[in-house]
Amino acid sequence: MRNVCIIGGGVIGLCTAWYALRDGHRVTLIERGPRGGDRCSLGNSGLIVPSHLEPLASPGVTAMALSSLFDPLSPLRLHPRLDPDYLSWCWCFWRSATHEHVERSAPALLDLTFLSKRCYLELAQAWENRFGLHERGCLMLCRTQSRLDSEAQGAEFARRLGVPAEVLDARATADMEPRVRMSIVGSVYYPFDAHLTPQLFVHELENALAEEDVDLRWSTEARGWRHSNGHVEALITDGGEVKADEFVLACGSWSARTARGLGLKLPLQAGKGYNVTMPNPRVRLGMSAILTEARVGVTPMGEALRFAGTLELAGLDTSIDPRRVQAITDAVPAYFPDFSPADFANLTPWSGLRPCTPDGLPYIGRPRRYDNLVIATGHAMMGLSLGPATGTVVSDLIARRTPSAPLERFDPDRFS
């Protein structure tokens, strides 16, 4: 049994705490916000997507990133600013966005997402599926033939790696979702994908950890470290020192700043995302969908329907740009004619920060500089999808076991 200190109470930190607890360790979790606070994990699209095999840094995304400099409504928005860390991140992103990088990275992402899917099924059974896990697949909806052709190529790539995928025309897509009209030319259906309600999943994790007497320190901020000779001795917080045998850095978009106190370089930028959640939609979807041209995710969550999208690199800023929200809400009627802009008029938008690495792959592993520290951050839009898998492999590292999935591509020292 070891004493484990986890910095960060988002889905990555909570999952790590859960699996470390299952291994018999004593766990302390440090989170800067209050319990039930508005963390990024609560507002995402709730998708579990083994189909998403391409990292954020991919050839098609670079063109969108460049065009976004002149288009404030682009799904991916780069804010020009003279910040050396940001400019270095952009340069590394540009260099990483190659077909070779996608080919090398996809199998590693696939291993993690398949592991997460198995973990979610186990947790749903153990917790009577109180977080609304549904294995109904996901539809990639396309309004243009050129986009459908592009998605069909992605489907072929997925099938080559063992992920089931079907290319459907408009009629076959309508048969999959008979309760809602769609203005599309076709879709790609990924039957192995799933979705859940993220706030319910986080709530279940928090309750399970509290019941097991995990030391949950909410509203506690990390201020620094005490370390010597490649060994972390204590985390310094605004509530005093926390000593442990093992430390896990999992504080999302704040991880790079926290890591600097250890002399570690973790290139990381906060990617702001938005959602609007419709509590009583006029039509209901049976499965999740992605509006591909608009890059908007649509997820049924109980009686509600969530629309989430955009990635805006604007630093640690959670302010809401109404134009970004409107880009999401304007896209919905173009795919689903039964919705109108008036349906979104009185909904409150949400924003949160996703931690993005320059190559689109998370940092998971031990930095060579320290013998008792594990990094687990940088999951971008895949935090929920990869949460349980990350918790599992980090627990493997704490126990000095061979990780349950290969971690070479996620080396936290790869940009050092």
Tens digit of each residue's pLDDT (9 = 90 or more) over 171-204: 999 999 999 999 999 999 999 999 999 999 999 9
Q: Would you state the pLDDT for residue 63?
A: 67
3-state secondary structure of 141: strand
Residue 34 DSSP symbol: P
pLDDT at 290: 97
φ/ψ of 107, rounded to 5, equals: -60, -35
Backbone phi, psi, residue 356, to 5°: -115, 130
Q: Which candidate, 322, 271, 331, 278, places its Cα nearest to that of 77?
A: 271
Is residue 253's pLDDT more than 60? Answer: yes
| pLDDT over 70 (residue 109) | yes
Partnered with residue 392 across adjacent β-strands are none
What is the CB-side half-sphere exposure of residue 259 using CA atoms within 13 A?
Answer: 28
Contacts of residue 275, defined as CB under 8 A and 6 or more positions apart, other chains included, come to: 43, 44, 45, 306, 307, 308, 309, 328, 349, 350
pLDDT grade for 64, boundaries at 50, 70 and 90: low
The domains of the chain, with CATH numbers, are 3-42+200-266+360-410 (3.50.50.60)
**pLDDT surpasses 90 at 60:** no
Q: Which residues are CB-contacts of 193 (< 8 A; sequence separation ≥ 6)?
A: 47, 48, 49, 50, 51, 137, 138, 288
Rounded distance between C-alpha atoms, residue 206 and residue 230, angstroms: 32
Q: Which of 205, 209, 19 is nearest to 127 (CA)?
A: 205
CB burial class (10 A; 0-12, 13-18, 19+) of residue 160? Answer: exposed
Helix (H) or strand (E) holding 117: helix 99-126
Complete DSSP assignment for 308-372: EEEEEE-SS-----HHHHHHHHHHHHHH-TT--GGGGTTPPPEEEEEEE-TTS--EEE--TT-SS
Across 208-322, where does the E strand assignment appear?
215-217, 222-228, 231-237, 240-243, 246-249, 269-278, 288-291, 296-301, 304-313
pLDDT at 80: 75
Tokens of 362: 């998370």
Task: Please name the residue that has the structure tokens 């780069």.
Answer: 78
Give per-residue pLDDT as tens, 273-318. 999 999 999 888 999 999 999 999 999 999 999 999 988 888 888 8
CA 118/CA 398 separation, integer angstroms: 21
Q: Tokens for 388? A: 């349980």
Query: For residue 43, what pLDDT is reported?
Result: 79
Average pLDDT estimate for 22-49 = 88
pLDDT at 68 over 60: no
